Structure 1
Amino acid sequence: MIDISVFSHTLEDLWNQKITPHEAEKQLRQLLYEDLEFAKIDHHRALRKGFPEVVFCQGKTQDQIITILKKMSEQYPNLLATRVQSHQFKPIQKEIPDIQYHPTAR
């Protein structure tokens, strides 16, 4: 879910001239989409659909998967990642201990 306090703080900081309009725009855009260069996280999807974006892991490196999941877990307690290879799971679990893996799921 989008953190409405970030929205409020951004507007307050803009009003108090603590940030420029350009900085405010950048912060507000990140409430909708966050560009990680190798992936774009759709933060607005949770509002539109009731569940955050599903992470399609096929073709991504372990580091990319970890980065995406860590970023998303800052805002969402429950995530779904698909097409994770069994050899990728242990390194991911070291970084995100409460993650679960279901080998039969596709």
Structure 2
Amino acid sequence: MQEIKRLLEKVKNGSLSVEEAMGALKELPYKDIGIAKVDHHRELRNGYPEVIYCEGKQLEHIQHIIVEMLKRNNNILATRANPEVYEAVKEVCEDAVYHKLARIITIKRKEIQLPETYISVVTGGTSDIPVAEEAAITAEFLGNRVERIYDVGVAGLHRLLGNLDRVTGAKVIIAVAGMEGALASVVGGLVDKPVLAVPTSVGYGANFNGLSALLCMLNSCASGVAVMNIDNGFGAGYMASMINKL
């Protein structure tokens, strides 16, 4: 609706013809660029622009999508991007930033007002940090303050308790852990805030690439724990952002 009002205003002041406005309206829901249908309407519906999932995409396809999205002057978030993808994106957008641990590319075109509340991202160990960083960078990019509290797993519970004020002060907590995934239950039993549990594929053979952590988190006896998919830091960061801005 805001986009339609903007177009009508341009027609009224003469900066846009009726024919040009009609053409813009046709492309409002999405733009078909052949290899993809770029959802320009996503931000109007959901509050955030479409996010590019890079894994499995051809480099030139990613470039075409980036170029199309840049036309709307929106902030752009691209996940699961390796250094090769980043170099390809740099060819079409010099100010793109690569977050190596998170495997995320960000392009910033406008500032987002930050809420006073914040999100805590907690990990069991340092091996969980790449997934945690995917969550943290996503949440920050979507306009949130993030507190990182890493390597405070249940093997040394005093480390978590020593940082409890930073955990409990958050509006929502993301708990990232592999192995047996017990961190989410422990955090859930200590706080009165929603906990988003993210199982990681970190662990020995019986971890089954994160399945053991996933099942343990799903069977948590702590109330207020919701579970994301294995290694889905992006999903946790996005959901935490939505909760933090309620």
Say yes or no: does 1:13 pair with 2:18: yes
What TM-score results when the alignment is normalised by the length of structure 2?
A: 0.34
Query: How many pairs align?
Result: 97
CA deviations on 1:52-74 (whole Å, 9 max, x unpaired) are 00011112111111111111111
Say yes or no: does 1:96 pair with 2:96: no
How much has 1:81 moved relative to structure 2? 0.5
Which of 58, 63, 76 is matched with 1:61 structurally? 58
Detail structure 1 runs of 4+ shifted over 6 Å in the superposition.
none
Aligned partner of 1:49 in structure 2 is 46
What is the one-letter code of the residue matched to 1:56? Y
What TM-score results when the alignment is normalised by the length of structure 1?
A: 0.73
Specify the structure having the higher radius of gyration (Cα): 2
CA contact (8 A) 2:49 2:74 kept: no
Unaligned stretches of 5+ residues in structure 1? none
How much has 1:88 moved relative to structure 2? 2.0
Which of 83, 99, 106 is matched with 1:86 structurally? 83
CA contact (8 A) 1:2 1:75 kept: no
CA deviations on 1:30-85 (whole Å, 9 max, x unpaired) are 11111112111111110111110001111211111111111111113311011112
CA contact (8 A) 1:2 1:43 kept: no
Unaligned stretches of 5+ residues in structure 2? 12-16, 104-246
Aligned partner of 1:71 in structure 2 is 68
Q: Which protein is richer in helix relative to its size?
A: 1
Give aligned-pair identity as a percent.
Answer: 34
Higher relative contact order (CA 8 A, sep 6+): 1
Instruction: Tell me how large the CA RMSD over aligned residues is.
Output: 2.7
Q: Residue 2 and residue 97 in structure 1: after superposition, are their counterparts in 2 closer, same or farther (change >3 A)?
A: farther
CA contact (8 A) 2:66 2:89 kept: no
